Amino acid sequence: MSDDCPQCEDGLPAWLATFADLMSLLMCFFVLLLSFAEIDAVRFKKMAESMKDAFGVQREVPANEIVKGVSVVKQEFSPSITEPSPTDDIRQQTTDETQQDLEINDKVMDAVAEKIKQQVQQEAEELREALAKEIDEGLLNIETQNTKIIIRIQEKGSFPSGSAQLDPGFFDVMHRISKTVAKTTGKIIVAGHTDDIPISTKRFRSNWELSAARAVTVVHALLSNPEIDPGRVLVEGHADSQPLVPNDSPENRAKNRRVELILLRGEQDQEGGKVITIDGSKKG
């Protein structure tokens, strides 16, 4: 029988070396994990209490301080305090200077806006004095809104019903208006308005055409004064889309039939966002 059994080789089998290397690597891996780990003191205490209850441990061991975990990384390395770079200093200084410039610009703009409002009120008073007779007769009225002067021409005495032709007697009024407007600066918006009663004639298909035609008629009367630059004038037709009062009575409808001359001061014009200053100049 002994002759039939193969003779074993001397020494350990070859696979055992590989197994031992694997075990060593696993042990090193878990040792590294433990060395980098930090113990949460609160959770550790709770876990210890639960294990104590589970295993029936009744003896209490007093602890002078809470169990703390120490990381190898914390022992070997400490956080560094970074110094601000020159780029951060320059950026901070630039931000401060920009903020100061913005505050100065805001103060300047507020002062300019206040001066524009004062000049608007002054020009509105001059217009009221020049057109006092027509204002008293109810042919027109003048009001201000922020930096706008609105000369509101009522249909009464200016246009026949359903027509865009000025009454002959109203040309003298337009002449006085144009003389006063020529002394101002800024854009001039001429906007026509009607009531809500539809119109459909051979001349006007709707209130839109009637309101626009009346605005164009007023523009021609204004531009008869060569002192007014045509580049300042804009024409708008609003029909009944912007009533002053509800169209619920003949008197209110008469108020809504009007042509408005809007003098813009310190407003943005439509030439690319330029701003008209108090002296009439334009700045980008």
The per-residue DSSP string of 207-262 comes to: HHHHHHHHHHHHHHHHHTSTTS-GGGEEEEE-TTSS-SS-SSSHHHHHHHSEEEEE
Tell me the β-bridge partners of 96: none
Q: What's the pLDDT band for 260 if we cut at 50, 70, 90?
A: very high
Whether the CB-CB separation of 192 and 219 falls below 8 Å is answered with no
Per-residue pLDDT, 29:
92
* 88 falls within a domain: no
- Written as six digits, the tokens of 205 are 């298909």
Per-residue pLDDT, 274:
40
* 71 falls within a domain: yes
Q: What's the pLDDT band for 103 if we cut at 50, 70, 90?
A: low
* 34 falls within a domain: yes
Contacts 24+ apart (CB under 8 A), 239-247: 239/193, 239/194, 239/206, 239/207, 239/208, 239/210, 239/211, 240/193, 240/194, 240/195, 240/196, 240/207, 242/193, 243/193, 243/195, 243/196, 244/193, 247/195, 247/196, 247/197
Q: What's the pLDDT band for 124 if we cut at 50, 70, 90?
A: confident
* 2 falls within a domain: no
- Kindly state whether residues 192 and 67 are assigned to the same domain: no
Classify the C-alpha dihedral 170-175-180-184 as positive or negative: positive
Tell me the β-bridge partners of 275: 268, 283
157 or 95: which leads in pLDDT: 157
- Kindly state whether residues 241 and 185 are assigned to the same domain: yes
- Written as six digits, the tokens of 260 are 């408005």
- Kindly state whether residues 265 and 141 are assigned to the same domain: yes
- Please state, in angstroms and as integers, the Cα–Cα distance from residue 235 to each residue in 188, 232, 239, 260, following that order: 9, 10, 13, 10
Per-residue pLDDT, 280:
40
* 265 falls within a domain: yes
- Kindly state whether residues 269 and 143 are assigned to the same domain: yes
- Kindly state whether residues 134 and 69 are assigned to the same domain: no
Q: What's the pLDDT band for 12 if we cut at 50, 70, 90?
A: confident
Q: What's the pLDDT band for 17 if we cut at 50, 70, 90?
A: confident
- Written as six digits, the tokens of 90 are 């320059």
- Kindly state whether residues 64 and 126 are assigned to the same domain: no
**Taking residues 183-204, what's their average pLDDT?**
88
Window from 77-81, 203-207, 267-271 with minimum mean pLDDT: 267-271
Classify the C-alpha dihedral 204-209-210-213 as positive or negative: negative
Q: What's the pLDDT band for 269 if we cut at 50, 70, 90?
A: very low
> Which amino acid would we find at residue 236?
E
Q: What's the pLDDT band for 283 if we cut at 50, 70, 90?
A: very low
Q: How many domains does the chain have?
A: 2
* 102 falls within a domain: no
Range of 35's domain?
15-76
- Kindly state whether residues 171 and 254 are assigned to the same domain: yes
- Kindly state whether residues 61 and 185 are assigned to the same domain: no
* 121 falls within a domain: yes
**Mean pLDDT computed over every residue of the chain:** 77
Per-residue pLDDT, 95:
58
**Taking residues 173-179, what's their average pLDDT?**
87
Inform me whether the pLDDT recorded for 60 exceeds 50.
yes
What CATH number has the domain bearing residue 127?
3.30.1330.60
Inform me whether the pLDDT recorded for 96 exceeds 90.
no
- Kindly state whether residues 55 and 151 are assigned to the same domain: no
- Kindly state whether residues 153 and 53 are assigned to the same domain: no
Per-residue pLDDT, 80:
56
Portion of the chain with pLDDT greater than 90, in percent: 20
* 60 falls within a domain: yes
> Coil, helix or strand for 51?
helix
